[in-house]
A and B are shown apart, each in its own frame.
Chain A
Amino acid sequence: MNSPSPAAISGALFTLLGCELVGEFLRNTLHLPIPGPVIGMFLLAAGLALRSGKTAAPEPGALDRVAGSLLDIMGLLFVPAGVGIIAQAGLLRQEWLPILGGLVGSTILSLGVTGFIMHRLTRARAQSPAPRSLDPGAEVAS
């Protein structure tokens, strides 16, 4: 597979940042409670869906590459905000039990409820589109 041209990569960056900017603009002017990047995500998804409806085959090009690279390192992008927990040390020391219990408990309950209902309702309507088998140990291969 030949790599996308510099112009195509610049275009992909323009698309991502442009959608974010339009999202921020809409949030400010319409006073929406949703952050700009999430609005931008909806805009880009709608745009891509409309375009792939017109052309026969959506060309998986530079945008897929750039988006894929960003999603691959998304974990890294959360580190600076996560370090902010050190600024909460006093509160954590005082209320560590309710904070830890509430966080772990509600996360696990929500995971289970969402996954269970989704699985039940989608399986009831149609067989899953050949899901690959899940291997709990394989997630770090990349």
Chain B
Amino acid sequence: MNRELLALWTPLASMPLLWLVVTLAAYLGARRLQRLLGGSPLANPVLVAIVLVGAVVLATGTSYPAYFAGAQFINFLLGPATVALAVPLARNLHHVRRSLSGIGFALLAGSMTSILSGIGLVWVLGGTRAVALSMAPKAVTTPIAMAVASEIGGIPALTAALAIVGGIVAAIVGQRMLSRMHIDDWRAHGLAAGVAGSGVAAAQVASLDGLGAAFAALGIALNGLVTAIIVPLVPLLWP
């Protein structure tokens, strides 16, 4: 960076405001890009915004903790947003009550699939044990995933990144893939998004349909419980 620009940048870089505005600008730009591309799911705005912000942070030689010191105010809103998932859940409770057994079986099967295939694929492809253990809890909501990873000897920061990128993958392919499997029911779409992709994929379903949002919220919450119970058993079976 040249000197004049640096002189302007340096006093701003220590303010939380700068990284808040950069993050918002990247997200707005990413949404506009997706609209320009005719709404392609490949141009996922969360992914594009992360790439844009990451590029700015790296190009300016900012450390991640310095960036996060500013952007944490956006991150803080994840708490109330998670609580807010209760609203579509409560409004659709009669649908949930009617399909309890389906939810139970689909949740257990999906959760086990995610954990075992995550560990298995990492192992088959030659990854280390630490990476496999970081992969195991990655389908659940980020704070649970990080807590479980640190408990079993994974790398919590890697798990957090995997949880978000995995959610982006689910948001990109989920709807198209399930529709191709002739699954045309918001309850199944919502639950699959919540179980396989947690918050990021749920956010995408929530913006489309209230019933889908209710089942996604349920998928996130219940998969969090199941994973927090099952994954800590993995290191016992694989010493």
Contact = CB atoms under 8 A, between A and B. Distances in A.
B83 A106 contact: no
A8 interface: no
Contacts of B149: none
Interface residues of A, number: 89
Interface size bracket, B side: 35 or more
A7 interface: no
Contacts, number: 385
Contacts of A16: 80, 83-84
A118 B113 contact: no
A117 B85 contact: no
Given A41-B85, A102-B131, 20 more contacts: A20-B82, A35-B141, A35-B147, A40-B83, A41-B86, A42-B221, A71-B81, A71-B206, A74-B200, A78-B167, A79-B74, A97-B125, A97-B126, A98-B125, A99-B131, A111-B170, A112-B178, A121-B101, A132-B209, A142-B207
29 contacts: A48-B87, A60-B91, A75-B200, A76-B49, A78-B203, A79-B74, A80-B75, A82-B46, A86-B54, A87-B157, A88-B155, A91-B131, A102-B119, A102-B135, A109-B113, A110-B192, A111-B170, A111-B177, A114-B106, A114-B113, A118-B185, A121-B102, A122-B185, A125-B101, A128-B184, A131-B185, A132-B209, A133-B184, A139-B39
